[in-house]
Amino acid sequence: MATALTFDPVTLPPAAEALRSEVRQFVAETLGNEHRRNSDFGASHDPEFSRALGQRGWIGMTWPTKYGGGGRSFFERYVMTEELLAAGAPVGAHWIADRQSGPLLLRYGTEAQREFFLPKIIAGECFFSIGMSEPDSGSDLASVRTTATPVEGGWLVNGTKLWSSGAHRNHYMITLVRTPTESESRHAGLSQLIVDLRNSSGLTVRPITNLAGDAEFNEVVFEDCFVPADRLVGEPGNGWEQVTSELGYERSGPERFLSAFRVFVELLREVGPKPTDHQAAVLGRMAAHMMTLRNMSISVAGMLESNRNPVVEAALVKELGNNFEREVPEIARLVAPGGGSALFRQTLEDTILHAPSFTIRGGTREILRGMIARGLGLR
Ligand SMILES: Cc1cc2nc3c(=O)[nH]c(=O)nc-3n(C[C@H](O)[C@H](O)[C@H](O)COP(=O)(O)OP(=O)(O)OC[C@H]3O[C@@H](n4cnc5c(N)ncnc54)[C@H](O)[C@@H]3O)c2cc1C
């Protein structure tokens, strides 16, 4: 029987709206008022900016105060991330640690892990990567082959991770590995280890250049890489549950529909105050799509705020959002009058080069659609 997905309408509370002007002012003061190039969270890395955010209390905003977190709501976090992305601020360094590694440790980590890692993340001084995908395991994540064998005092890891964003610059990578199990289930025997990317022997990180010419992601090779026992997250064999618990955080935020936002802004500037009827209709449709996606994403923030795990709703936000952000540069190319200003062209060209990845990173279209169909009871 088909089930409905419910996105309750949510109005942002006054505390969240108050934060908006604070973030805008901070961005203007810190980055200057010049227009940022693009809003793609994965395309930037600026540890100094991350530290400045940390000093304002804008990393780990929703985490408990006992670890130095802000104890604030997911709505406030939503507004803060939305404003930073809209401004094209360089948020890439701390993004993964703030979005999902910290919440994972809060849920499954040991007290010692929380006390060690969370304050550093919150200060904007400790950055994390995600080590899930492998050369033959992307969509079918349960087929990962990297192994962790128990040895005296820890684990020996062997295998290869692929497309690990930022692993050449970050401090740690939460790595999905196969640990010994009696069970024949593909989901059993998966575990997560925190790998020190800077101080491990038997570890090689090789940057891979993306379409835009940037070193963004990596191949990470483990050859008898020792990981101490206290770097296991949660119980051995519980990795599948843990990895899937990250998805609500990973897939629902404004970074899933705002990656091309600067193109939209510059396009509006290009078209100016007297659009043709065709331009007005196209721009209006884009704005309406964006506002709908925004309402859905805020609604998911509300679900996270009430401790729900909105994996299917997040998949829907990502799927619709990624399609939208891929369309923006295509539409801009057709609608813009003439060649456009240098800034418009630069923003557009940069986004065109990054856009193919929007519907691949964090789960492909086909996989998300399968999840949504299952969530609706259609599969
Ligand atoms: C910019 C970028 C950053 C990334 N960062 C990270 C990262 O930090 N950490 C990390 O672990 N991974 C990362 N990835 C990897 C990403 O998660 C995978 O690329 C993605 O999950 C797809 O896996 P794959 O590349 O192995 O493709 P495949 O899984 O081989 O898929 C190839 C094609 O087949 C389709 N397909 C596969 N299975 C099915 C099916 N059952 N039904 C229908 N169609 C199917 C897919 O939709 C896709 O179109 C990143 C990727 C990109 C592009």
- DSSP lists the bridge partners of residue 191 as 177
Residue ID of nearest Cα to ligand 1 atom 29: 139
Please check the confidence at residue 35 and state whether its pLDDT lies above 60. Answer: no
The kind and range of the H/E element at 290 are: helix 277-305
Please check the confidence at residue 242 and state whether its pLDDT lies above 60. Answer: yes
CATH topology assigned to domain 130-237: Butyryl-CoA Dehydrogenase, subunit A; domain 2 (2.40.110)
Region for residue 69 given its phi and psi (left: phi exceeds 0; alpha: psi -120 to 50; beta: otherwise): beta
Q: How far is the CA of 135 from the centre of ligand 1 (A)?
A: 10
The CATH superfamily assigned to 243-375 is: Butyryl-CoA Dehydrogenase, subunit A, domain 3 (1.20.140.10)
Please check the confidence at residue 2 and state whether its pLDDT lies above 90. Answer: no
Closest CA to 348 of 263, 286, 271: 263
Q: Are 100 and 304 in contact (CB under 8 A)?
A: no
Task: Give the whole-number percent of the chain exceeding pLDDT 90.
Answer: 88
pLDDT value, residue 6 = 87
* Whole-number Å distance between alpha carbons of 263 and 281: 17
**14-127 shares its CATH topology with 243-375:** no
Could you tell me how far CA 344 lies from the centroid of its own chain?
26
Domain ranges of the chain: 14-127, 130-237, 243-375
320, 326, 330, 336 alpha-carbon torsion, rounded to 10° = 90
Q: Tell me if 367 CB under 6 Å of ligand 1.
A: yes
Q: Are 322 and 256 in contact (CB under 8 A)?
A: yes
Q: For the chain, how many helices (H) and strands (E)?
A: 13, 8
How many angstroms separate the Cα of 138 from the Cα of each of 125, 160, 299? 29, 12, 28
pTM of the model as a whole: 0.96
| Predicted confidence (pLDDT) per residue in 363-376, tens digit | 999 999 999 999 99
Q: Tell me if 23 CB under 6 Å of ligand 1.
A: no
Burial class of residue 138 in the structure, from the number of CB atoms within 10 Å of its CB (0-12 exposed, 13-18 middle, 19+ buried): middle
Q: Are 175 and 146 in contact (CB under 8 A)?
A: yes
Instruction: Please report where in the chains the tokens 């064998």 appear, as a residue.
Output: 149
Q: Tell me if 364 CB under 6 Å of ligand 1.
A: yes
Q: Tell me if 164 CB under 6 Å of ligand 1.
A: yes
| Predicted confidence (pLDDT) per residue in 62-109, tens digit | 999 999 999 999 999 999 999 999 999 999 999 999 999 999 999 999
CB atoms within 10 A of CB 276: 11
Residue ID of nearest Cα to ligand 1 atom 5: 165
Q: State which ligand 1 atom lies nearest to the alpha carbon of 166.
A: 8
The kind and range of the H/E element at 131 are: strand 128-131
Instruction: Please report where in the chains the tokens 């939460």 appear, as a residue.
Output: 174
pLDDT value, residue 117 = 98
Mutate to test the pocket of ligand 1, among 360, 374, 379 (most ligand atoms within 8 A of CB): 360
pLDDT value, residue 34 = 62
Q: Are 172 and 126 in contact (CB under 8 A)?
A: yes
Q: How far is the CA of 136 from the centre of ligand 1 (A)?
A: 10
Tokens found for residue 40: 């793609």
Q: Are 174 and 204 in contact (CB under 8 A)?
A: no
| Predicted confidence (pLDDT) per residue in 158-169, tens digit | 999 999 999 999
pLDDT value, residue 379 = 86
Mutate to test the pocket of ligand 1, among 364, 366, 368 (most ligand atoms within 8 A of CB): 364
CATH number corresponding to 14-127: 1.10.540.10
Task: Give the whole-number percent of the chain exceeding pLDDT 70.
Answer: 98
Q: Tell me if 361 CB under 6 Å of ligand 1.
A: yes
Please check the confidence at residue 180 and state whether its pLDDT lies above 70. Answer: yes
Residue ID of nearest Cα to ligand 1 atom 13: 163
User: Average pLDDT for residues 121-148, to the nearest whole number?
Assistant: 97
How many angstroms separate the Cα of 22 from the Cα of each of 79, 273, 291, 368? 10, 28, 22, 35
Tokens found for residue 174: 């939460």
